[in-house]
Chains A and B, each alone.
Chain A
Amino acid sequence: MNHTVKDAAFLPFEPLKQTNSVINEPRLVRWLLIAAALGFLSLFLLLPLLSVFVEALRKGAGAYFAAFADPETLASIKLTFIAAAIAVPLNLVFGLSAAWAITKFEFRGKQLLITMIDLPFSVSPVVAGLIFVLIFGAQGWAQPWFGDHIGKVLFSTPGIVLATIFVTFPFIARELIPLMQEQGTEDEQAALSLGATGWQTFTRVTLPNIKWALLYGVLLCNARAMGEFGAVSVVSGHIRGLTNTMPLHIEILYNEYQFVSAFAVASLLALLAMVTLAVKSFLEWRYADQLAATRRH
């Protein structure tokens, strides 16, 4: 072996300064960047969230719980749940159906269809409300017929549900489409070749493959459905105890300087948001591979 030490001029063993990697930034830069990022997040995210609970409990737990004794508050909570309970399942069926059509078949205009599904994301919530006013409002083109045959849409529950459906329209579909595109059609073709019917294939093969992404989409859809403000505000008419959802009720309480009550109702929605984030983080951590790889919000 010829790799023996020949050169006595070498310095003795000299340990080097430790760095994590040669392509890292200097320590000071690293800490500055981390401080900037966390400072920004704290200022814009953590503090507002924290302040919701602090303001809600400002006058103690008694005042906090008293806010929920108000029948109008309870009515707003109920209406919020009704709107979400109708909007989410409808968008769920739509999301599954759209994702199936788009990912399992080839047809012209597919890209356009995907863009169209995303449309409600790029429309201001206020404009979303406006379009239903234009249809069902006093001068609306569908109102004469609807008024005679079905009843009031605007300033009542159906209008609120419609506006909620519109703003939460893409949530589930866009969660499913990239995932199902990635998964392809091989599994389904195998099931069909084994004699399964289309419905069996869907429930036994497709659904188990997409269940976590589906849950994820439902979660986001529900959070938005319960929290929607702008669109619902336009169509609701703000009739207390009748057409106020929780976000709208918060606005009324806030404008009437009932801050503790406003923040108490807000704290419920903030809790919902935190649960949503917690479940979402858990799903992402646990089932990262079963959620779409290419995610964009």
Chain B
Amino acid sequence: MDIQIRGVQKHYGSFHALRGIDLDIASGELLALLGPSGSGKTTLLRAIAGLEPLDGGQVKFGDIDATGLSVQERKVGFVFQQYALFKHMTVFDNIAFGLNVRPKKERPDTVTINKRVRELLELVQLGGLEKRYPAQLSGGQKQRVALARALAIEPRVLLLDEPFGALDAKVRKDLRRWLRSLHRETGYTTIFVTHDQEEALELADRVVVMNRGVIEQVGTTDEVWDAPSTPFVYDFLGTPNVLPARVERGALLLNGATATLATAGAAPEGPVNVYTRPNELRVVGDDDASALTGKIVETQRTGLLLRLGVKLLSSGDVIEIELPHPDPDVQRWQIGDGIRVRPSRYSLFPRAVATAADESGYDPTLTVTEHRERSRT
């Protein structure tokens, strides 16, 4: 079932948790809501489920306007972060709960319920554990019971809140793969919340990047990775270098105009920030006039990658470069070596006027730190 979300608003006191969310989710899609904590992703998920009364906006499941429907009437399968299994019930009773609480005339008979629960147990690969209590299950098993319980009511849509958050790394990987195949098998429209970009990008058909109650970008893994539409997305998916620059008459002047780059399309005139990832910087020779020159202040080899910290001569800022496996025959970079680099890919975002006024003291890393700080809280 497809879902349409229009202008959804949510306040907690003075805190504006959702600032007018619009989103369309196709039937059968596997969608990730990605963002730091406090970005509103869980609130949005709960709003879709009907667990958060909205201050405004509309939620539609297919042709049904779900906005006025109660949680019970929405029929969503919701998997809670801590699973929320009923401790005093067996695995069987947990899964059967949604069927058992139906009004008498809609309730399937015992035989049907039995059959359905057993099918679900097989589906989540927990056959034989129906008599266990939640306390007797591992984290991964609890997760599967929670999923089976949500699927038992044949939900319109499956919603998962940080589905792998409480699991250790190994189980998490396995369960991720398994969830992906389960989704393929069952075809439920599925939305899950995560703060882990790797998880979102690996699992989802599309990723919704959220920040401070708004959607920053919606797209496939490739789209959000290759063309981040805002500085926040850039920053959240990696650790970009941020270089202050100016656009004058269509030319991008970097580093106090010592380097000039082509602007990609219609760039805004005036002060901008150039966002470029460490792996998008290329080492160039002396003949490249538009290169940034600097001195190596840090080298760090991790596996097949070499990370260099380069202090730019012009501004004194330190940027990070990531090079592939260094070829011992060509060159070994040492601390103190001079180096010339240029961005092979980058994006421009206009810089706030306030910072532009104080260009000399401008620290490009500040923005990055600021964002990261925010994403941690």
Please list the residues of chain A having a beta carbon within 8 angstroms of any beta carbon in chain B. 1-7, 10-11, 13-19, 21-23
Q: Encode B32-68 as 1/0 by CB contact (under 8 A) with A.
A: 0000000000000000001111111110100001011
Which chain B residues border A6 with CB–CB below 8 Å? Answer: 24
Within 8 A of A (CB), among B1-46: 4, 6-7, 21-24
- The complex places the Cα of A17 from the Cα of B68 at a distance, in Å, of 9
The answer to whether A16 and B22 have CB atoms under 8 Å apart is no
B200 at the interface (CB under 8 A from A): no
The answer to whether B56 and A22 have CB atoms under 8 Å apart is no
Q: Known contacts A16-B67, A16-B68: does B6 contact A5 (CB below 8 Å)?
A: yes
The answer to whether B4 and A10 have CB atoms under 8 Å apart is yes
With A10-B58, A22-B52 given, can you name 16 additional A-B contacts, CB distance below 8 Å? A1-B218, A1-B229, A2-B219, A3-B22, A6-B24, A7-B4, A11-B65, A15-B55, A15-B56, A16-B53, A16-B54, A16-B67, A22-B50, A22-B51, A22-B71, A23-B71
Closest A residue to B72 by beta carbon equals A22
The answer to whether B22 and A4 have CB atoms under 8 Å apart is yes
> Which size bracket describes the interface of B in this complex?
20 to 34
Q: Known contacts A14-B58, A16-B68: does B218 contact A3 (CB below 8 Å)?
A: yes
Which chain B residues border A22 with CB–CB below 8 Å? Answer: 50-53, 70-71
The answer to whether B67 and A14 have CB atoms under 8 Å apart is yes
Closest A residue to B5 by beta carbon equals A3
B215 at the interface (CB under 8 A from A): yes
The answer to whether B53 and A3 have CB atoms under 8 Å apart is no
B190 at the interface (CB under 8 A from A): no
How close is A246's CB to chain B, nearest CB, in angstroms? 48
Say what secondary structure dominates the interface of chain A. Answer: loop
Which chain B residues border A21 with CB–CB below 8 Å? Answer: 53
B217 at the interface (CB under 8 A from A): yes
Closest B residue to A10 by beta carbon equals B6
The answer to whether B215 and A3 have CB atoms under 8 Å apart is yes
- The complex places the Cα of A10 from the Cα of B67 at a distance, in Å, of 11
- The complex places the Cα of A10 from the Cα of B215 at a distance, in Å, of 20
Supply 22 A–B pairs (Cβ within 8 Å), ascending by A.
A1-B218, A2-B218, A2-B219, A3-B215, A3-B218, A4-B22, A5-B22, A6-B24, A10-B4, A10-B6, A13-B56, A13-B57, A15-B56, A16-B54, A16-B55, A16-B56, A16-B67, A17-B53, A19-B53, A21-B53, A22-B50, A22-B70
Which chain B residues border A11 with CB–CB below 8 Å? Answer: 58, 65
Which chain A residues border B229 with CB–CB below 8 Å? Answer: 1
Q: Encode B191-212 as 1/0 by CB contact (under 8 A) with A.
A: 0000000000000000000000
Which chain B residues border A16 with CB–CB below 8 Å? Answer: 53-56, 67-68
The answer to whether A3 and B23 have CB atoms under 8 Å apart is yes
Closest A residue to B22 by beta carbon equals A3
Closest B residue to A6 by beta carbon equals B24
- The complex places the Cα of A7 from the Cα of B60 at a distance, in Å, of 11
- The complex places the Cα of A2 from the Cα of B218 at a distance, in Å, of 7
How close is B22's CB to chain A, nearest CB, in angstroms? 5
5 smallest CB-CB distances across A and B, nearest first, come from: A3-B22, A10-B6, A22-B71, A3-B23, A16-B54
- The complex places the Cα of A2 from the Cα of B229 at a distance, in Å, of 11
- The complex places the Cα of A7 from the Cα of B58 at a distance, in Å, of 12
How close is B357's CB to chain A, nearest CB, in angstroms? 30
Which chain A residues border B65 with CB–CB below 8 Å? Answer: 11
- The complex places the Cα of A19 from the Cα of B68 at a distance, in Å, of 12
- The complex places the Cα of A14 from the Cα of B59 at a distance, in Å, of 11
Which chain B residues border A1 with CB–CB below 8 Å? Answer: 215, 217-218, 229
Which chain A residues border B60 with CB–CB below 8 Å? Answer: 10
- The complex places the Cα of A23 from the Cα of B70 at a distance, in Å, of 10
- The complex places the Cα of A15 from the Cα of B56 at a distance, in Å, of 5
How close is B222's CB to chain A, nearest CB, in angstroms? 14
Which chain A residues border B7 with CB–CB below 8 Å? Answer: 5, 13
How close is A13's CB to chain B, nearest CB, in angstroms? 5
Which chain A residues border B21 with CB–CB below 8 Å? Answer: 3
How close is A124's CB to chain B, nearest CB, in angstroms? 35
Which chain B residues border A15 with CB–CB below 8 Å? Answer: 55-56
- The complex places the Cα of A1 from the Cα of B70 at a distance, in Å, of 31
How close is B259's CB to chain A, nearest CB, in angstroms? 31
Closest A residue to B214 by beta carbon equals A3
Q: Encode B67-101 as 1/0 by CB contact (under 8 A) with A.
A: 11011000000000000000000000000000000
Which chain B residues border A10 with CB–CB below 8 Å? Answer: 4, 6, 58, 60
How close is A274's CB to chain B, nearest CB, in angstroms? 36
